[in-house]
Amino acid sequence: MSPVRQHSSVPADGSPSAAAAHPAPGPVATAPLDVKTIYGRHADDVARWARRFGGPRLDVEDIVHEVFLVVQRRSHEWRGDAQVTTWLYEITFRVVRDRRARGWWRRWSTGVVAGESRGAANDLAELPVDQPNALDLLQRREATAALYDILDGIGEKYRTVIILFELEGLSGEEIAALTGISLANVWVRLHRARQKVLKRFLAWEERERP
Amino acid sequence: MSANRTREDASNFDAVERWLSRPAGGREAEDRFAALLRDAGPPGPLSAVARARVWSRLRRRPTSRAGIARLRWSVALSVLLTSGVVLGALSARKWWPGNATRTAPESTPAKPHAARGVRGVARPALQPVPTTNDSPPVGEPVPAAAPPAPPGDEPVPETAPPAPPVHAIAPRHTSPARDVTIAKAEPEERAAVREPEAIAPPHFESARRAPVAPSAPPASPASALPGETPLLSGALMQLRQKRDAGAALAALDEYRARYPNGTLKREAESARIDALLLLGRNAEALAELRDLTPQPGGRGQELRLIRGELTAASDCKGAFVDFDRILNEQAAAALVERALHGRAACRLRLGDEPGAIRDLTEYLRRFPAGRFAAEARRALEARSEDL
């Protein structure tokens, strides 16, 4: 089991599917979705996924809000043939992707960095339960900022694949299904993404750790 | 085969080692990057406050911020586009070639070229006169018995400075003064039936019937002629709306005294001639006309014709100059009709019967249903009987 899975909300059930690869496997829904219940159970999961996909500069509250708006709007489409978590995961992925795609326009039109973190609330939320130490929090924030600084510079399609593979621990098929590209293309993108990441990582090391 | 390839790719993919699976403490770049991944750690959950805040937003306002932002931008773009369309339409309306003459005086009412633009609009006033059964005064080529045409028949823009009062001047096809003129003319017309030689110039009645041109546009309040314009406008108002030629003449006298070389001098002189004709002071009108140098075309041609008709009363030879000039120019049909008739009358008076017959024949050819057609036919028939 990868460390990613240990740290993430992915259940340690060893399931290879994307549906099972994410938080607590909810019961297969057969009745109309109760948004309040789903929110109570999975809001944190959505926030984690959003932070994973978007990085530390994303306004997680906005993303969670947007995701559950989609849930409200499309709850009637829920067929109950998959886990709610799978559905939420896909919605979160698409909402973050769309938000990032609109980032340039938002930056241009408002002068505000897209989805900038709200500060204290998010910082506190980032504090792992088992790390109440402020120094640890600071180191974690720095490492996270450096990581996403590297990932943000390699191109969106490569960034997506490497986050899903390395951080989320998804399989090739799951990435292909989620992103809508072929398995071969996933592999190619992952290969190139790794090259780009290493190149940027080495540059970052030279800059930050002389 | 493609399925086999896909399976091969998949197996290759599964064979790829995840960086986070590499043992910690390695010295390769991949190991160091894996360490960075571990340092970053997993993201935390939402805080209780944030959860409550998001749920509150979900319950209170089931619209996303992005949706609101899109709505705002849509409204802003709509307003912008609408404003652009409206401004474009206004600009097109203002600067479209078809409207140029109408708008030019508004922008530069005080400049001489703007006044020319006004006259350009007024030219339709010199279009062919509607044929009526009114007979011209006859017996005397001099328009003594027939008071001059009301100034209301003048092309408005010719005498109208770009001022609002001028704009308000309405066409007047009939007026008490004109009715009196026609009534006075009728007995003389009957005499003319017996004396074809006494065909008289048609004076100014055709001009009186000329359709009044569209009024000049109102001047902008910031006109550069703050003194001239109101004064002349008042005079034209008296002349054309109140039909008070005396008051108009008084105002024009004041204008002449105050602005002997004013920008609107030409318009004022033209109005003065109208007022004098309306008052029956033909001699003074003729004197004014002799001092005036009519401009080619438009109102200038009409003034030239009036001068010829007034001159014909006492000096037919002198009148030929103006009649010939009108006939040689590309004058309006109404002016040509009057000029042909006037020249024929003068030629008859001077004994130039061949010339008169030519003019009368030409008149009948061009205006078979003209206002002087019956008169011309009678004169020609009398000539043929004499022959």
Q: Residue B176 and residue B278: Cα distance in Å, rounded? A: 11
Question: How many interchain CB pairs under 8 A, A with B?
Answer: 146
Helix B2-15 / helix A172-179 crossing angle, nearest 10 deg: 120
- For residue B213, report the phi and psi dihedrals to the nearest 5 degrees: -70, 160
Check residue A158 and give its pLDDT. Answer: 92
Q: Name the least confident of A113-122, B104-113, B339-348.
A: B104-113
Token reading at B153: 């028949």
Closest chain B residue to A50 measured between Cα atoms? B43
Token reading at B294: 């009519």
Which of B159, B157, B156, B122 lies closest to B270 in space, CA to CA? B159
Q: Which of residues 35-94 of B touch A (CB under 8 A)?
A: 36-47, 49-51, 53-55, 57-58, 62-66, 69, 73
Instruction: Identify all chain A residues contacting B38, using CB atoms and an 8 Å cutoff.
Output: 3
Instruction: Identify all chain A residues contacting B5, using CB atoms and an 8 Å cutoff.
Output: 184
Residues of chain A falling short of pLDDT 50 = 1-29, 111-125, 129
How many other β-carbons are positioned within 10 Å of the β-carbon of residue B49? Answer: 13
Instruction: Identify all chain A residues contacting B69, using CB atoms and an 8 Å cutoff.
Output: 106
Q: Name the least confident of A109-113, B124-128, B206-210, B259-263.
A: B124-128
Which residues lie closer than 8 Å to B310 by C-beta, 6 or more apart? B142, B143, B282, B285, B286, B289
- A interface test, pick of B9, B16, B28, B57 with most A CB neighbours within 10 Å: B9
> Each residue of B207-251: pLDDT tens digit?
444 444 444 444 444 455 677 888 888 888 888 888 888 888 888
Instruction: Identify all chain A residues contacting B50, using CB atoms and an 8 Å cutoff.
Output: 47, 60-61, 64, 121-122, 125
Q: Is the pLDDT of residue B322 over 80?
A: yes
What confidence tier does B351 reach under pLDDT thresholds 50, 70, 90? Answer: confident
Token reading at A8: 């993430």
Considering chain B, what is the average pLDDT of its residues? 68
- What single-letter amino acid sits at A172? G
- A interface test, pick of B46, B49, B51, B73 with most A CB neighbours within 10 Å: B46
Check residue A132 and give its pLDDT. Answer: 56
- A interface test, pick of B2, B8, B19, B49 with most A CB neighbours within 10 Å: B19
Instruction: Identify all chain A residues contacting B15, using CB atoms and an 8 Å cutoff.
Output: none
Facing B40 at nearest CB: one of A143, A173, A201: A143
Handedness of CA A107, A112, A118, A123 (dihedral sign): positive
User: Measuring CA to CA, how many Å separate A10 from each of A21, A86, B146, B209?
Assistant: 5, 12, 112, 99
Contact present, A12 and A1 (Cβ < 8 Å): yes
Check residue A134 and give its pLDDT. Answer: 72
> Each residue of A113-142: pLDDT tens digit?
444 444 444 444 455 545 556 777 778 888
Q: Is the pLDDT of residue B83 over 90?
A: yes
Can you list the pairs that A15-23 forms with residues at least 24 positions away whose Cβ atoms lie under 8 Å? A16/A171, A17/A174, A18/A86, A18/A89, A18/A170, A18/A171, A18/A174, A18/A177, A18/A178, A19/A82, A19/A83, A19/A85, A19/A86, A20/A83, A21/A168, A21/A169, A21/A170, A21/A174, A22/A49, A22/A85, A22/A86, A22/A89, A23/A85
Q: Residue B242 and residue B224: Cα distance in Å, rounded? A: 27
Interchain proximity B45–A47, CB inside 8 Å? yes
Exposure of B167 by Cβ count < 10 A (0-12 exposed, 13-18 middle, 19+ buried)?
middle
Residue % of chain B over a pLDDT of 90: 4
Contact present, B252 and B271 (Cβ < 8 Å): yes
Facing A143 at nearest CB: one of B39, B62, B66: B39
Check residue B9 and give its pLDDT. Answer: 52
Q: Is the pLDDT of residue B264 over 70?
A: yes
Q: Name the least confident of A131-135, B117-121, B343-347.
A: B117-121
Mean pLDDT of B265-293: 85
Contact present, B149 and B334 (Cβ < 8 Å): no
Cβ–Cβ contact B28 with A under 8 A: no
Q: Is the pLDDT of residue B323 over 60?
A: yes
Interchain proximity B38–A3, CB inside 8 Å? yes
DSSP 8-state symbol, A118 = -
Q: Name the least confident of A13-17, B51-55, B177-181, B272-276.
A: A13-17
Q: Name the least confident of A33-42, B30-39, B241-250, B375-384.
A: B375-384
User: Measuring CA to CA, how many Å separate A131 from each of A122, A125, A134, B35?
Assistant: 15, 12, 8, 18
> Each residue of A150-181: pLDDT tens digit?
998 888 889 989 998 988 888 888 889 888 89
Q: Is the pLDDT of residue B170 over 90?
A: no
> Distance from B40 to chain A by nearest Cα, in Å?
4
Check residue A15 and give its pLDDT. Answer: 31
Mean pLDDT of B19-48: 83
Q: Residue B211 and residue A111: Cα distance in Å, rounded? A: 65
Check residue B78 and give its pLDDT. Answer: 93
Q: Residue B49 and residue B124: Cα distance in Å, rounded? A: 81
What confidence tier does B327 reach under pLDDT thresholds 50, 70, 90? Answer: confident
Between B126 and A46, name the one with better pLDDT. A46
Interchain proximity B29–A202, CB inside 8 Å? yes
Q: Residue A69 and residue A63: Cα distance in Å, rounded? A: 10
How many other β-carbons are positioned within 10 Å of the β-carbon of residue B185? Answer: 24
Helix A103-110 / helix A84-101 crossing angle, nearest 10 deg: 50
Instruction: Identify all chain A residues contacting B6, using CB atoms and an 8 Å cutoff.
Output: 182-184
